Homo-oligomer: A and B are copies of this chain.
Amino acid sequence: MSFENMAPLVIDGVKNKIVLLVMDGLGGLPMEPGGKTELEAAKTPNMDSLAEKSMLGLHEAIRPGITPGSGPAHLSLFGYDPLKYVVGRGVLSALGIDFNLQPNDVAARGNFCTVDENGLVTDRRAGRIPTEEGQRLCDLLLQNIKIPGVEVFLAPEKEYRFLLVIRAEGLSPNVQETDPQVLGKKPLIASALDKKSERTAEIIQEFVSQAERILVDESPANMLLLRGFAQLPDWPKIPDVLNLKAIAIAMYPMYRGVAKLVGMESPAAAQSYDEEIDMLENFWEDYDYFFVHIKKTDSYGEDGNFEKKVQEIEKVDALLPRIMALDPSVLIITGDHSTPCLMKKHSWHPVPLLFYSKMCRPDNIASFGESACRRGSLGVRFPAYELMNLAMAHAGRLEKFGA
């Protein structure tokens, strides 16, 4: 059960605030047997002392063993079962580069690729061309592609990846992906998979044909592949279903974008941790729910830089007094997933979770780390998408179930 069965109360006034502080990729692993994780190695006096008055646990965004991407991991923390609320890859690409996707647009993730003289794919990533080369090719295509009645947007992401958005009347995204996924085959035809998507399929196929002619003399990127055709999902929104006015405070577009999908506002991007907490303070009276996102813990995890990840955690610990001074009803400190420096990538390991509220039954464990969290009352595999229920309850914002 996520929010579907919940009966939110209408709460007036300025109390009952909920703060979700996400250190991206927080969960870690010891670098050697018997060692400490990143969070355990960090000196976090403020979090340790808050832990004593809180419930601890480890959460799972999806299911045991499943490594989440950033989109599903955050949706889960926001109360949306990520197996039920699936975002298309094209939409995630748009969110990731802050593209202002409109409800009728169809977005796709593109790869520049290499094909041989027979049109068979020989490299699905065109030798991982540099980002500048991707930018140049996107510009080249944009200048030359003309499809009557259709607006086409192209934007480079990283290296060989780009975002394609088409804007026209009557689009629908159920179109065959063109990426054959294996080498030695031709790109697939973007055929319609249902009646409603026929016009969209024709537009995309026309785009692909024109692109093929424009790229023919380029090297190594002489063709492109498209997948993840998707439109903005029309999901229940947090302000509507939970009576929560919600704000996302983040430095990167991806996280502000995912938050907007569920009805959060995100008036501006922050430039630093201090600015994030400034925004929290400045918007305190205007919102009920605050999602604060810390990116660099994940970045240093992906770099495998244990020491730097530890330092970032310590920087966040130093921000805690400013947050607590606001007297939130509920403060959740956690990650969206684990990014152990040992692995240099996202992982499936359950994520440390600290849940503070005056209405919680405290675990009296004065330490915030993976081992401490294992002994906490939220258990070792708390479903992340049930956190929203728990936050609503502790903030006095839920009706009881049954008379």
Chain A residues proximal to chain B, CB less than 8 Å:
1, 5-6, 29-30, 33-34, 37, 53, 57-58, 62-73, 82-83, 86-87, 89, 92-93, 109, 228, 343, 346-350, 359, 361-364, 370-371, 374-375, 377-383, 386-387, 389-394, 398-403
Contact = CB atoms under 8 A, between A and B. Distances in A.
Nearest to A387: B64
A370 B29 CA distance: 25
B386 A29 contact: no
A72 B359 contact: no
8 contacts: A1-B66, A65-B392, A66-B398, A69-B403, A72-B402, A89-B403, A363-B374, A379-B380
B394 A92 contact: no
Copies in the complex: 2
Given A53-B33, A377-B374, A69 B361 contact: no
Nearest to A61: B401
Contacts of A1: 62-63, 66, 83
Given A350-B377, A393-B348, A400 B109 contact: no
Contacts of A33: 53, 362
A402 B71 contact: yes
A348 to B, nearest CB: 5
A390 B62 contact: no
A11 to B, nearest CB: 15
Nearest to A6: B66
Given A350-B377, A361-B29, A361-B37, A69 B393 contact: no
A184 to B, nearest CB: 15
A194 B24 CA distance: 50
A389 B82 CA distance: 17
Given A1-B83, A58-B377, A400 B359 contact: no
A302 B311 CA distance: 47
Given A370-B361, A374-B377, A393 B37 contact: no
Contacts of A382: 64, 381
Contacts of A63: 1, 5, 386, 389
A394 to B, nearest CB: 7
In the A-B complex, the 6 residue pairs with the closest CB atoms: A69-B402, A65-B389, A65-B393, A72-B402, A65-B390, A67-B400
A370 B34 CA distance: 23
A401 B62 contact: yes
B83 A5 contact: yes
Nearest to A228: B403
Contacts of A72: 401-402
A58 B152 CA distance: 55
B378 A349 contact: no
A315 to B, nearest CB: 24
Contacts of A228: 403
Nearest to A400: B67
A401 B68 contact: yes
Given A380-B377, A403-B93, A64 B389 contact: yes
A68 B389 contact: no
Nearest to A358: B33
B71 A403 contact: yes
A64 B386 contact: yes
Contacts of A5: 63, 66, 83
A297 B165 CA distance: 61
